[in-house]
Amino acid sequence: MVSGVTSQHVPAPPPDAPGLVVRCAAKINFFLDCGVRRPDGYHPLQSVMQRIDVYDTLQVTLAPGGVCACHDSFDKCACDPQDNIICRAARALMARYAPAAGVVMTLAKRVPVGAGLGGGSANAAAALRAVCQVWQLPASEAELHAMARELGADVPFFLGTPAALCEGIGETLQPLAAHTYPIVVWNPGMPLLTKDVYRQFDRQARPHCAVASFLTAYAAGEPAALAPLIWNNLALAAEELMPELRALQVQLQAAGALRAWISGSGPTVIGLCQSKAAADRVAATLRAQVPAHHFIHAGVTLCED
């Protein structure tokens, strides 16, 4: 914790309190090829990620100096509310710039937790930008990206364009011209820890796939051409830990998706559809078949923030 910073329980500001309110869009992995674990513990990867129309909402409000607090208004996050990735983002800025004011952040958490959708990373990136604006800090893009890398491998992506090719451990970004693809997002409500999936991934050799053909199909913007080139070798480990994920993918395609696959480390399953109307039909079919607590969303990939 930053010297002089208190994380005592600070009351959440009222919904109409002055401040800044931002949306934190989740992401999906259209393509993910993980390499062999490096000596430093990280995995080299090639990943095509794109933000989607599933959002958390973050309200950032000025507070007395030295205060840095976070509230989850829906009480959905199991992490320490005063030491989560959002507070770590604000404290990184506080340590560097020593602002006169403090900050209280209130999160309306709608993106499923532990889902492979990057919700925490999206929250952290949004906190970096929003706290900078509220405190009127002179942070450059390079400084924000450096802080983002310290917070997590996916956080830099959420500071950039809606779609990107991510390499290295996720910090090297090549922006892509984004296309709107109709999708169905299905989370069965069973969190799967990323660290457990990577541990399982490392237990045996895995197949690999180069990204070039996928990028060509992605640039064309046609779902039917893209579907057969979607790839995720990390999903093999997720399926070994949670075998029911295979049945979810089969069920999603049987409902009408062109292709179903696991996003990131799972357990969220994504269905690519030919049109938004088709995605709506697929989602309606699934809702009639699965328990009510499952998260099912018919939406699109985003082309702008």
Active site members = 27, 154
- Assigned token pair, 88: 């770590």
Residues 33 and 231 sit within 8 Å (Cβ to Cβ) = yes
Q: Which two tokens stand for residue 118?
A: 């990057």
| Separation of alpha carbons 168 and 224, rounded Å | 29
CA 140 – CA 207 distance, rounded (Å): 40
Identity of residue 284: A
Instruction: Give the integer Cα–Cα distance in Å for 133 and 89.
Output: 13
DSSP per-residue letters across 193-248: -HHHHHHHHTTS------SHHHHHHHHHT-HHHHGGG-EESHHHHHHHH-THHHHH
Q: What angle do CA 107, 109, 111 make, to 5 degrees?
A: 140
In what helix (H) or strand (E) does residue 94 lie, and over which residues does it extend?
A: helix 85-97
- Please report the DSSP string for 115-174 in residue order: SSS-HHHHHHHHHHHHHHHHHT----HHHHHHHHHHH-TTGGGGGS-SEEEEETTTTEEE
